[in-house]
């Protein structure tokens, strides 16, 4: 039997890093990932409760804008990528079509098991130039973040995407759906 001798240290350190990079690049949770609520019909499923009261003082939920598109960006203060995502969401909201409401749902404060405070929410509105009527806390979340959902004018989920999207990608996606170039998933409807 032949002995290989000691394994060089650079191999021992490079191998785990390469495996981790491969696992992250192949993460199946980045892209379109639909929930049971989406598959059940979204707003027509009967589960139409609001998330809560927006920073602007109005009840806010995904099903409160019938006949309009609702672009939802899920956020949390502990999410390191979410600041960049909110900048893009704010830009898309300022440039987006009038038939679309852009909503931000904050699912956590500075720690994953802590809700955002009203002061945290007001700071999000100010820092990212968001509409206070369309920013709300859902307490804490176990969602993968950042995440987006598009509710169509029919109340069904037309898109749910996990991962970052820049403003141009959000607006191109809206344009594709609104122009008929892209169709929502059927989910047996």
Which DSSP letter does residue 154 get? Answer: T
Q: What share of the chain is helix, strand, coil (3-state, %, to 5)?
A: 35, 20, 50
| Residue 7 within any structural domain of the chain | no
Has residue 4 been placed in a domain?
Answer: no
Whether residue 2 lies inside any domain: the answer is no
Q: What is the pLDDT of residue 24?
A: 31
Q: Is 2 exposed, middle or buried (0-12, 13-18, 19+ CB in 10 A)?
A: exposed
What are the average pLDDT values for consecutive 10-residue runs of the chain, which has 189 residues?
Answer: 56 40 44 95 91 95 96 95 95 97 96 94 97 96 93 97 96 97 88
Reported as a single tens digit per residue, the pLDDT across 84-117 is 999 999 999 999 999 999 999 999 999 999 999 9
CATH number at residue 37: 3.40.30.10
- What is the pairing mode between strands 69-75 and 147-151? antiparallel
Domain assignment of residue 19, yes or no: no
Number of domains the chain contains: 1
3-state SS assignment for residue 55: coil
Question: What pLDDT score was predicted for residue 17?
Answer: 35
- The residue range of the domain holding 84 is 29-178
Specify whether the CB–CB gap between 164 and 88 falls below 8 A: yes
Helices (H) and strands (E) in the chain — how many of each? 5, 8
Distance CA 101, CA 150 (A): 10
Q: Does residue 170 sit within a domain?
A: yes
Supply 189's token pair.
């409807």
pLDDT (0 to 100) of residue 8 = 57
- 155 assigned to some structural domain: yes
pLDDT at 141: 87
pLDDT of residue 187: 86
What's the CA gap between 80 and 67, in Å, rounded? 34
- Distance in angstroms (rounded) separating the CA atoms of residues 146 and 67: 26
Residue 23: the pLDDT is: 31
């Amino acid at each position: 039997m032949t002995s290989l001798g000691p394994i060089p240290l650079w191999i021992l350190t490079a191998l785990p890093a390469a495996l981790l990079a491969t696992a992250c690049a192949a993460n199946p949770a980045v892209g379109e990932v639909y929930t049971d609520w989406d598959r059940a019909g979204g707003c027509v499923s009967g589960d139409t409760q609001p998330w809560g009261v927006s920073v602007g003082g109005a009840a806010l939920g995904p099903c409160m804008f019938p006949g309009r598109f609702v672009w939802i960006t899920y956020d949390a203060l502990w999410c390191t990528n979410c600041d960049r995502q909110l900048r893009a969401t704010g830009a898309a909201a300022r440039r987006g079509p009038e038939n679309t409401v852009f909503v931000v749902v904050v699912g956590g404060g500075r720690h994953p098991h802590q809700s955002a405070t009203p002061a945290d929410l007001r700071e999000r509105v100010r820092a990212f130039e968001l509409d206070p009527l369309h920013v709300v806390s859902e307490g804490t979340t176990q969602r993968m973040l950042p995440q987006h959902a598009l509710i169509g004018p029919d109340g069904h989920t037309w898109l749910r995407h996990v991962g970052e999207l820049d403003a141009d990608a959000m607006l191109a996606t809206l344009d594709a759906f609104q122009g008929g170039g892209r169709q929502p998933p059927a989910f047996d409807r």
